[in-house]
Structure 1
C-alpha cells in the first residue's frame, strides 16, 4: 500500500488543522504526533486523530472521491461534523481540544473491554453507576467501560462461557460514568459554538462525549 503521508495535499491539510488546534494546546501538535509517550495522552490523542481524519479526507477528495454520507465514532463524530459543514474548523478545534483536555482529567483507573456478546445479553449485568456500554463493534461484539472490578467480573463471566474477551489499551474508561464529572463544562463549550446545516449528511449514532 502506498504511503500518502508525504502527499502535498495531505501535508497542507494537516498543517492547516494543526495550526487551528495549536491555539488551544500547550505545545505544537505536530511535535506531539512524533512523541511516542505524549501521543498516548488523550488530551493529545484526540486532536491528533481529528487532524488525521481531516487530512485523509482532503487527500481522498483530491482524487475526485466525494462522500454522500459522513459518520464517525467517538472523536470521529466531531470530524464528521466538521467535514459535513456542521462545524467550522475553529469551532471544531475548540470542541476537540476541550473534549480531550477534560477527558484527560477524568478518573484514570477505569477499564474498557471488548466482549463477544450482544448488547441485550450484557445489559442485565450492568450497574449504571459503574459500567456502561461504550461501543457496539458488531451485533455480537460489545465494548463495556467503567470501574475495573465491575468490568473484569463481567468479562470473566463470559470468558467462562467460552466467549472471547479483550481488554483495550486506553488511558481512561471512556464512554462510561467516569466521564460524568466533565459533562457540564463540555456542554457549556458545546453550547457556545455555531452549528450549521449538514452538507453532505452526517449521521452519528452516539453522543460525542
Structure 2
C-alpha cells in the first residue's frame, strides 16, 4: 500500500507526459482524457509553446492528464493506495484515485475549474518565500497588505518553503520587507491562487462541485484546507470548494501520508518529491521510469 500524492499546476513543462506515452495503458488514458476535453491537451503538452501551456486554462488540464496516466500505470502494476492527497488542482486527481469521481467527471471538473479561475482575470501573482518559518511569513503578509491589495499565505509547502499569494503591489512590499528570507522566487502561474482574489470564481465553482455525482471514498483523502485524512464525503465536497481561496496545508498533508504509507508522486513531476524531502518524508516520483523498480523494493521493505 502506498500514499498517492498528485502534483498541481506549477509543475507544467513542454514535453510532459512523454515517457508515460510509451506505456500503452498510460497512452490510452491520455487519449481518453483528450476525448473528454473540449480541446485535446496532448499536443500542447508535447510541443508547447510554454506560454500557452502555463496559462491557467491549459496548465490545470495538462497536469491532471499526466496524473491520471501515471495512476493508470500504478493500477496496471497492481499497486493500491492506502491514502491519497493532491496539491491544489491535484486534489481532483486524488478524489478520482479514491473512487469519489469517475474519469469523465474528474476531467469535467478540472476543465470547469481552470475556466472559472482563468475567467477571474489577472488580479495578482504568487511568490515562494524560502528560509522563513510560517509565523514570520504570516507577519510579513499582514504588514504588506493594504485595502484592496491583500497578500496571504497561500501554500504551506514544506518547512522553510512558504508561498504567498495576492495583489502585485502587496507582493512587492512583502519582498522588500522580507530581508531575512533566504530567497524569494516568483511562481510561473497566472494569478493569485488560494487567496481572496479568487473569490469571484467561487459561486460557480461551488455549484459545479455540489452538483457533481460523487461516491464514498474507498480510502482516506487528505483535503488541502484541513491537512487531515477523512472519508466523509460531505466534508470532501466542501473542502474542494474552500480550497479555491483557502490555504494549502501541504506540510501537514505530507505528515499525514507519511504516517500511513510510503509516498509516491503520481504524475510527471518531482516537485512534491522535493517538498516531501524537506519535510523529512519518504516519496518517489513517477516522472522517473525507474521509480517502478524502486517502488517494488520499497514496498517489499
Deviations 1:157-191, CA, capped at 9 Å, x for gaps = 22x22532111111111111221111111111111
For residues 94 and 165 of structure 2, the distance between their equivalents in structure 1, rounded to whole angstroms, comes to 24
Q: How has the CA–CA distance of structure 1 residues 162 and 181 changed in structure 2, closer, same or farther, with 3 Å as cutoff? A: closer
Partners of 2:19 and 2:114 in 1: CA distance: 28
- Does the CA-based 8 Å contact 1:77-1:208 persist in structure 2? no
Q: Which residue of 1 aligns with 2:253?
A: none
Identify the residue that residue 167 of structure 1 maps to in structure 2: 186
What's the counterpart of residue 179 of structure 1?
198
The number of residues matched between the two structures is 203
Residues 88 and 224, structure 2, Cα contact 8 Å, conserved in 1? no
Q: Deviations over 1:115-171 (max 9, x none)?
A: 12222212233238611211111122110011111112112222x225321111111
Specify whether residues 131 and 29 from structure 1 end up closer, same or farther in structure 2 by C-alpha distance, changes over 3 A only.
same
What's 1:100 paired with? 114
Aligned with 1:137: secondary structure?
Answer: strand
Which position in structure 1 is the counterpart of 2:21? 5
TM-score where L is the length of structure 1:
0.88
Aligned to 2:156, the other structure's residue is in SS state strand
1:71 corresponds to which of 85, 89, 98: 85
| Structure 2 residue 137 is matched with structure 1 residue 122 | yes
- Secondary structure of the corresponding residue to residue 60 of structure 1: helix
Distance 2:69 2:243 in 1: 20
In 1, Cα distance between equivalents of 2:73 and 2:23: 8
Q: Which residue of 2 aligns with 1:134?
A: 154
State which drifts further: 72-81 or 171-180.
171-180
CA distance in 1 between counterparts of 2:189 and 2:100 reads 29
Q: Any gaps of 5 or more consecutive residues in structure 1?
A: none
**1:35 match:** 48
Q: Normalized against structure 2, the TM-score is what? A: 0.63
SS of the residue corresponding to residue 86 of structure 1 reads: coil
Give the SS at the match of 1:68.
strand
SS in 2 for 1:114: strand
| 1:156 corresponds to which of 165, 173, 176 | 176
Partner of 1:16: 32
Aligned pair partner of 1:200 in 219, 223, 247? 219
